[in-house]
Structure 1
Amino acid sequence: MGAGRSCWHTWVQGIRMARVPHGPWRDLYPWRHYSSQLARSGVAAARLDHARWIATAASPSASAKTLYQHQTDCIEQSLTAFGQHDRVAVSMPTGSGKTVVFSHLLARLPAPTPSQHKVLVLAHRTELLAQAKRQIEAHNPNLRVDIEGGHAHADVDAADVIVASVPTLGRPSSVRLSRFDPAEFKLIIIDEAHHAAASTYKRILHHFFDENRSNPYDVKLWGCSATLQRHDGLGLDDVFDTIAYSVSLETLLDEGFLAPVRGMKVDVDLKLDQVRIRKGEYDPAELSRLVNTNAQNELVVEQWRRYCQNERRSTLVFGVDIRHVLDLQEQFKSGGVQAESITSLTPNAERKRILQAFSDGEFPVLLNCTVLTEGTDLPCVDALIMARPTRSHTLFVQMLGRGLRLHPDKKDCLVIDVANTFASNSLSSRMATLMGLKFTAEDDGAAHAHAIAPLSV
């Protein structure tokens, strides 16, 4: 395999903004559009019709002046959609400010009745719970925000907003969900909504909505995700009625809201066609055996030394599994490079320490497998190394998103593919449709006005 042959690619514009579920979005997200069903309880009589709903939506608060245009558009179109639908989803890229959006949305949404003003925010990871709580409190200082999850027990009666752990509320043996009276909640928010088809989420939603999708309490459901699709084939059409808003990654890159991206592909001889496919993705055990070799791990470190050591501040590396991450970490350390790793086995306190030290620039390389693909804000990351291939568009977008946030010391983000990730199952050829991006050979780059010039090599 050797050092591999470096072949530079540039990133150019793809699809434009699509804000309502028409055209290509109907093809990309083949969801059925259900008409909202009127509730059979006494609350139904108080349900607002479409025109009255729009008229009674609270006016933007003073803090809304800090919102970017796409965030304002998302909030307004979500409120409009709620006049016709109970369950609304939006698609926004990583780094676009989804938490900021729903922190403002929950205050703008009118309560169906005076006693039905509470909001439940659902997230599946500890980091997401804390981040959501901080953002909601920052934009809504008059609201009480509690966390429900693990050893944290919210005061359901006193809290205005409860940020809850899905594993805590949604597991079959949990009795904590019974403390939540649906008649007191106006809105349920699902962060990383592509997970919403999982059984734990559905168990929670069935507590507020009947299984036949009736809505006796007039509760609204709003979900946001950078990737409103699942690689395991489970559909989201049973969860959401419509996509109210979407904005492409390319649009936010053009507007300068996200960090520019440079892409580099290192040609390697990986026999990915020999790896078994399970539920649309490479089998983890077989994939690990293929990529977790001395030669491949040496190549990862070699490419980091060549393109990142003197040019990049913070590099995030994605591995296949825990063994792969630990072996890669040892490869970096044996070469005198200070590198840390986070896996599912890393204790929360240690994880927090590592992330803070990485953000502070105390070491240059952080390795992980599947842990840092969601819910972790690391604006300092200015280089990504894809040491694992994937057939999942969702996973690829999530990995890429870790490097898109802006940072004062960051001019762009370099993405180095050392595992044929860009070529996996023709992934790169479908990037324009899925992400607003595609790859073009270097000598074609001059033909594209939005191309980012490759680094000198």
Structure 2
Amino acid sequence: MTTFESALGKDTQFGFLDSSISSQQLLNPLLISNDPPDTMLHAIKSKLRRSRTFTFSVAFISSTGIALLKQALLDFKGTGQIITSRYLDFNDPSMFRELMLLDNVEVFIHQDDGFHSKGYVFNHDLGVTALVGSSNLTEKALVVNREWNLKFSTSPDGDIAFQLDNAIGMQLQRSIPLTEDWIREYEANRRAPERLISTRLPLEQTSNSGRIVANKMQEEALESLLELVNRGESRGLIISATGTGKTILAALATRMLKPRRVLFVVHREQILDKARQEFIKVLEEPEDRFGKIAGSIKQLDHPYAFATIQSLTQESTLKKIAPDAFDLVIIDEVHRAGAQSYLRLLDYLTPKFLLGLSATPERTDGFNIFELFDFNVPYEIRLKAALEEDMLVPFHYYGVTDFTINNETISDLSKLSTLVSEERVKHIVESLRKYGFPEHVKGLIFCSKKDEAHELSRLLNHCMLNGKLLRTAALTGDDSISQREDTVARLEAGELDYILTVDIFNEGIDIPSLNQIVMLRGTQSSIIFTQQLGRGLRKSPAKDHLRVIDFIGNYDNNYLIPIALFGDNSRNKDSIRRRMIDNETVGTLAGVSSVNFDPIAQARILESLQRARLETKAEFKNDILQLKDRLNHLPQLMDLARFNTVDPVVIASKYKNYWSLLFSLKLVDVAPTKMEENFLTLLTNELLNGKRPHELLLLRELLKFGQLSVTEYRELLASQLTKNDNETISSVERILVLEFFTSQQVQKYGENPLIRKVGDTYFLAPEFQNAFKSSPEVTRPEHASESFQAHVLDIIETGLYTSRHSGFWAGELIVGERYTRKDVCRILNWEKNHEGTIYGYKVDRFSSTCPIFVTYHKSEDVSASTNYGDELKDPQTLHWYSRSKRTLESAEVLSITSNSMPIYVFVKKDDQEGTDFFYLGQAHSQNSQQEVMAGKEGAELPVVSMDLRFETPVEQSLYEYLNTSSKSVK
């Protein structure tokens, strides 16, 4: 019996006969009902990675379903076949054309009218795995819908394998190959069902009478705005992602507030006309009440005036308007309000209420938009939340490798001749074929230079794509407004496939039908990236998703791509890296949107992330001042955590502690005393990360009540649903009295403990207590930055917040999370911190635990005697080597091979990832054997190898990430 058959037998018994049977749980039957992360999308992508052939037999397939699997299908090295049908005429002709573009997949059309199967069969080296149930190949069925699909595995000789093969064979006998002729005939005779795509803009919710009413999100915004007005405030800023209906919301607010006269200010006339029409529709008043102030039109006396900033601020126009002429003034795209024209207008007008609208109010020039609106933000919905609320169409992003010639890839320094070379144009067109829509494209291509945009447009217009000649036009800031409007109209009318541009379409342009965005440039900033992405997210009839094709070269700022896509502003490289890894497992974000990278593009981003300097004082100062703009006071660490900005641990620990950083940045005038600095540095470095809440909980109680008995502390831990055993409590004591730390660390922290224990009662240590009590109590947040007491309480509350929200509350190691050696010593309740002497692993007799630390890809200069061949053989097995000069009889080896104490395995990819390791879980040793390895000058050294079997398999995406070479990709 093979290893596979043995494992399959145990897993089958576990799944069908007795769940108490010990098995690997890799091949056991599993019901997949789309409970994240166990979705059909995840299951299919996972099986494609490990299969050599596949067959999908599904009645219904959507373009968005293909988009979710596109990168996985392109990366698939084997061959596949898809059997589908024209059942109920559900499938779009365009979807069939896209299937024909998959080079290694054959597509067949079943001829029976009642074809309704839903099965996915994968043939791998050892057997067959099938997913059979209720999911078609549509985005909702793969991710969202409550589906039932059974995953099961069989050996090639199993009867069910023969049944599956026979069923597929019978379907193929009743099928014909998909051809363009068949698609044309289907297209001509199709009686399409009513589509699920809305035929109206969904943000325009109407009542039975046909009147536009507020949707759920708009209701919340209007309630908050009314509350602000009723409080007597005169200004407010609404933050709403591009495409979420800011103008409709402003019109609804106008209807609610009933102002006598309204002024709506924009920066472009084409935006003005659209806004005016939407107000007419919402307010249901005669059109002649809605005036324009733009160009030569000066309709100043209308109840509702719509003006461009350029025309309105002309001296001859503005002096004709009384400062209090308008009760309500609305400024669109108000992040532009730092410009002198806007400031002049706002200094002049005195409305009863000033309302600002913006998708991205953050600025880089130091101007504070929030202050302009008295720090009042009644409503905020960013891109991720808007996607989750289905206010925008989902997007499918593909990060693809840019063109390489003579081992040189497109970069920030590439010459124009390289950017528009014949080879690169061919590469662009081929990528559009692979990733783009097969037809009916309405696309926007962002280039790096004006010359590049014009020349690429000329060259692309001589290229064939999917059997048709491409039609493109270039637009830059040199083109007139009328030229821009005419070109956009041609795109919307289907006369063009793409507009190539540089920056003029980052914002302020509305092309609802836009369904494809191509980025042929490096990412300048996460804000600009989000603005460009937002161009295509507006809902429109017959548009169910946006495709984004991002050509990733050797750009210095590649690391900004995951920051923008995942909304991770933490400056924590580990966090950003983890999001990229987790993305491979989860498969979607913000609903059914997805992010995909080809292997080389992903390697380039990770390499850029390693090089990036995210933790400089300049960057931290910018983060602090941006949030200060929002809050009207210097933020505390808890504010950074609540607003999901820079990671409090990263910003506080980089320069000893947060107060010391603020002083060094000259943001506060008073520095902490030396003793205060030592205490704050200790709390920051050891407890702020929240990897265990126990120390923080004890300190919080002692700061409140002065003392606490051991019994009371144990009861507190129990009430907080976290560990309260003797070993953990003793470990907490050693941490807070500094017995755990090395002498060097104790000296670094000033040698003063945080607590003392008398009998069975805890007290604050006198020095810490005196420093805390002598610091003035802070009642206003703007005074907290120079108060030791405020900083201590801030660290404690932020650490507890992090502990809860990161899943660390139980005080135990969490599989998949990252830990330093010191974290592990603490959480495993070691008597002392031995992080500096672990040397790969350590059998700790005090705690009876053995953590093993593996650096998976060793550096090239590692010595022969420490260059161990540790390797993940599969997601559940690490082949591991002991230290050299060890035998099967060595005491430390016997402790591991006998499994006499728990073994905890930690792995990092390489030394460039810093000091944190992924925790892969507990493992059991097996198959140990004596071997030899090379030493100095050809000497042979004894070493013991063994397999470490994890209790649960390593997540596939992490497994593949660790096994991918970390060498530079050019």
Is the shorter-chain TM-score for this pair beyond 0.5, marking a shared fold? yes
Q: How does 1:266-277 map to 2 (within 5 A)?
A: 266-268=400-402, 269-272=409-412
Out of 323, 328, 351, the residue aligned to residue 456 of structure 2 is: 328
1:8-45, Cα deviation, whole Å (9 max, x unpaired): 89xxxxxxxxxxxxxxxxxxxxxxxxxxxxxxxxxxxx
Structure 1 residue 109 and structure 2 residue 250: aligned?
Answer: no
Distance 1:369 1:271, change over 3 A: closer
Residues 447 and 247 (structure 1 numbering): CA distance in 2 closer, same or farther, change over 3 Å?
closer
Measured in 1, the distance between the counterparts of 2:227 and 2:306 equals 25
Partner of 2:431: 303
1:401 to 503, 512, 534: 534
1:87 aligns with 2:230: no
For 2:237, give the aligned amino acid.
A
Distance in 2 between residues matched to 1:377 and 1:82, nearest whole Å: 30
Name the count of aligned residue pairs. Answer: 371
Give a deviation string over 1:60-113, Cα, whole Å, max 9, x none.
9977653321122222212222234222101111111111011121222244xx
1:336-373 CA distance string (max 9 Å, x none): 41112333333333333322221122221122232222
Corresponding position of 1:250: 384
Mapped to 1, the partners of 2:588 and 2:560 lie a distance apart of 23
Q: 1:446 to 1:192 in 2, by over 3 A?
A: closer
TM-superposed CA distance for 1:404, in Å, is 0.8
Give unmatched runs, 5+ long, in structure 1: 1-5, 10-59, 112-116, 209-216, 275-286
Whole-Å separation in 1 of the counterparts to 2:245 and 2:588: 32
CA shift in 2, pair 1:239/1:267, >3 Å: same
Specify the alignment match of 1:67 in structure 2. Answer: 214
The alpha-carbon deviation at position 222 of structure 1 amounts to 0.6
1:410 to 543, 563, 570: 543
Match of 2:222, SS state, is helix
In 2 relative to 1, CA 342–443 (structure 1 residues): closer, same or farther, beyond 3 Å? same
Shift of 1:257: 2.2
2:245 alignment partner, one of 60, 78, 97: 97
Q: Give the letter for the 2:456 counterpart.
A: L
Q: List per-residue Cα deviations over 1:298-343 (Å, max 9, x = no partner).
A: 5433322332251552111112343232122112113241112333
1:387 aligns with 2:520: yes
Give the 5 Å matches for 1:114-125. 117-125=260-268
Alpha-carbon distance in 2 for matches of 1:446, 1:342: 35
The CA deviation string for residues 171-203 of structure 1, in whole angstroms up to 9 with x for no partner, is 6xx321111112221111111111111111101
Larger Rg: 2
Give the counterpart letter for 1:257 in structure 2: M
SS of the residue 2:369 aligns to: coil
Does the Cα contact within 8 Å between 2:446 and 2:521 map onto a contact in 1? yes
* Larger CA deviation: 288-297 vs 347-356: 288-297
Aligned: 1:140 with 2:286? no
Q: Which residue of 2 aligns with 1:233?
A: 366
- Match for 1:332: what amino acid? L
Contact 1:182 1:219 in 2 (8 A): no
Residue 385 of structure 1 deviates from its aligned partner by 0.4
Secondary structure at the counterpart of residue 407 of structure 1: coil
- 1:28 is aligned to none
Q: Is the 8 A contact 1:313 1:364 kept in 2?
A: yes
Is it true that 1:160 corresponds to 2:303 in the alignment? yes
Q: Does 1:169 align with 2:312?
A: yes
Instruction: Show CA shifts across 1:398-434 (max 9, x none).
Output: 2111111223322211111114589545342354447
Change (3 A) 1:83 1:249: same
Alignment of 1:40-51 (within 5 A): none
Is the Cα–Cα contact under 8 Å of residues 526 and 560 in structure 2 kept in the other structure? Answer: no
Q: 1:263 to 1:201 in 2, by over 3 A?
A: same
How do residues 22-41 of structure 1 correspond to structure 2 at under 5 angstroms? none
TM-score, structure 1 length as denominator? 0.72
Q: Go from structure 1 to structure 2 and tell me whether the alpha carbon gap of 1:68 and 1:448 turns closer, same or farther (over 3 Å shift).
A: closer
Contact persistence 2:387–2:590 (CA under 8 A): no
> Which residue number corresponds to residue 948 of structure 2?
none
Q: Could you state the TM-score of these two structures normalised by the residue count of structure 2?
A: 0.35
Structure 1 residues 176 and 89: CA distance shift in structure 2, 3 A? same
Q: How far, CA to CA, are the matches of 1:425 and 1:316 in structure 2?
A: 23
What secondary structure is seen at the aligned counterpart in 1 of 2:238?
strand
Counterpart Cα distance in 2 of 1:179 and 1:167 = 15
Between 1:261-270 and 1:342-351, the stretch displaced more is 342-351
In the aligned structure 2, how far is the partner of 1:394 from the partner of 1:109?
32
Deviation track 1:259-316 (CA, whole Å, cap 9, x = no partner) reads 11111112344444x7xxxxxxxxxxxx986984425555433322332251552111
Q: Are positions 1:151 and 2:296 aligned together?
A: yes
Structure with the bigger RCO (C-alpha within 8 Å, sep 6+) is: 1
CA RMSD, 1 decimal: 3.4
Distance of 1:244 and 1:125 partners within structure 2: 26
Quote the sequence identity (%).
Answer: 24
Give the 3 Å change call, closer, same or farther, for CA 96–184 of structure 1 in structure 2: same
| Mapped partners of 1:249, 1:290: distance in 2 | 37
Q: 1:267 to 1:254 in 2, by over 3 A?
A: same
1:78 to 206, 225, 228: 225
SS at match of 2:297: coil
SS of the residue 1:183 aligns to:
coil
Question: Structure 1 runs of 4+ off > 4 angstroms?
Answer: 6-9, 60-65, 287-293, 295-298, 419-423, 446-457
Counterpart in the other structure of 1:25: none
Q: Distance in 2 between matches of 1:262 and 1:326?
A: 27
Q: CA deviation at 1:446?
A: 4.9
